[in-house]
Amino acid sequence: MNLDFSNPEPRDGARASFSARPIMQKTLKTSIGCTGVGLHSGSRVALKLHPAPADTGIIFRRIDLVGGGREIPARWCNVTDSRLCTVIADEHGVSVTTVEHLMAALYGMGIDNAVVEVNGPEVPAMDGSAWPFMFLMECAGLAELQVTRKAFRIRKSKSFTNGAKRVSLVPTQSDLRIDFEIDFRAAAIGRQHCSFSISAETFKSEISRARTFGLLSEVTALREAGLARGGSLENAIVVDGDRILNDDGLRHADEFVRHKVLDAIGDLYLCGHPIIGHFSGHCSSHGDTARLMRQVLADPSCWELVEVGDNMSESARVDSQPFAALA
Ligand SMILES: [Zn+2]
């Protein structure tokens, strides 16, 4: 689709409403990498981020397997497990685990296209937040591509209730808004609520450094089940009743609920585009977000792809997109 943005004259249909300056897709300026330990596998993993052409999206590539270069697009259609973290896999069962914090960092940086190479089954946990990944991306720098950015705009409300857990997505004029509420019996967490309009600045200053967390009692049970093997006070907040076991305490008084916002952003980015909509989560988990997104994607009247400008309320609808690839 070619739009002449220099022409202020209205043209046909939805395209005519797009008077804002277009925002172009972005990728990394250069490749950059790090190593770390997988939160659940406990194995050491090298991660490398590479630039990618426009309309590639985010693609994970396992380079440790025979034949090499097994690629898994970071899309909802490839999500195979959402119980403890988000897992994507290809049709042969080759998977990458715990993609959500890196996906949140890519969202926060406004990166539309990148190839994420890993030499193991899990993204390294780093410090349990999105911050180390953002730092890497900032070191690599960003490059603008010559294709307009597209957003996934919610047109109709959808919600999903699972006992006391609730998630919903409703239309907004512009940007992604997230409300989240959690209520834990552990006194150190308790009831927390937050609400953010997710801009690049808000993500970086308010969300990106919030770490994953676990209850000491659950960590023991997870370890016995062969999970959380790489979890430590270096990459997670660990709570025991009213105590926080990390010597240096919390980064925000409500770091727990902010991390839930970070998780939601990473998961939502599996739709392949920034979202224009209002997400609310009440005591919900990765699995509830996954259920909601499957409902949204299954209903074509619920969403549309739009080209975005610097005033995101004035966006042009994109026609004839390959929607089936998203479902
Ligand atoms: Zn998380």
- Local confidence pLDDT in tens for the 327 residues of the chain: 333 323 333 333 333 334 468 899 999 999 999 999 988 788 899 999 999 999 999 999 999 987 766 899 999 999 998 888 899 999 888 999 999 999 999 999 999 999 999 999 999 999 999 999 999 999 999 999 999 999 999 999 999 999 999 999 999 988 899 999 999 999 999 999 999 999 999 999 999 999 999 998 887 777 777 777 777 888 999 999 999 999 999 999 999 999 999 999 999 999 999 999 999 999 999 999 999 999 999 999 999 999 987 665 445 566 434 333 333
Query: Residue 221 in 3-state DSSP?
Result: helix
pLDDT of residue 5: 29
Q: Are 78 and 72 in contact (CB under 8 A)?
A: yes
Cα(236) to ligand 1 centroid in Å equals 9
The catalytic residue positions are 286
Please choose, from the candidates 274, 278, 326, the residue with its C-alpha nearest in 3D space to the C-alpha of residue 156: 278
- Which three-class secondary structure state does DSSP give residue 59? strand
pLDDT at 36: 95
The Å distance, Cα 262 to ligand 1 centre, comes to 7
In a domain, 13, yes or no: no
Find the CATH number of the domain harbouring 161.
Answer: 3.30.1700.10
Residue 301 resides in a domain: yes
Residue 139 lies in a domain: yes
The alpha carbon of 40 and the centre of ligand 1 are apart by a number of angstroms equal to: 12
Residues 6+ apart with CB under 8 A from 75: 57, 88, 270, 271, 272, 325, 326
How many Cβ atoms are within 10 Å of 127's Cβ, its own excluded?
16
Let me know if 146 is exposed, middle or buried by CB neighbors in 10 A (0-12, 13-18, 19+).
exposed
Q: Where are the alpha helices (DSSP H) in the chain?
A: 100-109, 131-140, 200-202, 216-224, 255-268, 286-298
Residues near 319 by beta carbon (within 8 Å), at least 6 away in sequence: 1
Rama region for 241: left / alpha / beta (φ>0; ψ in -120 to 50; rest): left
- Number of domains comprising the chain: 1
Q: What is the pLDDT of residue 98?
A: 93
Count of C-beta atoms within a 10 Å radius of residue 269: 27
In-domain check, residue 1? no
Compute, in angstroms, the gap from residue 213 CA to the centroid of ligand 1. 8
Q: Which two tokens stand for residue 62?
A: 């396992």
What pLDDT sits at residue 217? Answer: 85
Structure tokens at 306: 């739009």
**CB hemisphere CA count around 140 (13 angstroms):** 25
pLDDT of residue 62: 94
Question: How far away, in angstroms, is 54 Cα from ligand 1 center?
Answer: 28
Domain residue limits at 141? 18-325
Which protein residues have a CB closer than 5 Å to ligand 1 (ion)? 212, 263
Q: Are 208 and 137 in contact (CB under 8 A)?
A: no
Q: Are 128 and 211 in contact (CB under 8 A)?
A: yes
What CA–CA distances, in Å, run from 235 to 123, 125, 131, 210, 231? Answer: 13, 6, 12, 11, 6
**What are the φ/ψ torsions at residue 88 (nearest 5 degrees)?**
-115, 150
What is the structure's pLDDT at 323?
A: 37
Residue 6 within any structural domain of the chain? no
CA 126 to chain centre: 16
Q: Is residue 223 part of a domain?
A: yes
In a domain, 7, yes or no: no
pLDDT value at position 18? 44
Quick check: is 10 in a domain?
A: no
CA of 264 to the centre of ligand 1 (A): 8
Strands 275-282 and 176-183: parallel
Report which residue type is found at 212.
Answer: T
Amino acid (one-letter) located at 310: D
pLDDT of 316: 57
Q: Answer yes or no: are the C-beta atoms of 98 and 85 closer than 8 Å.
A: yes
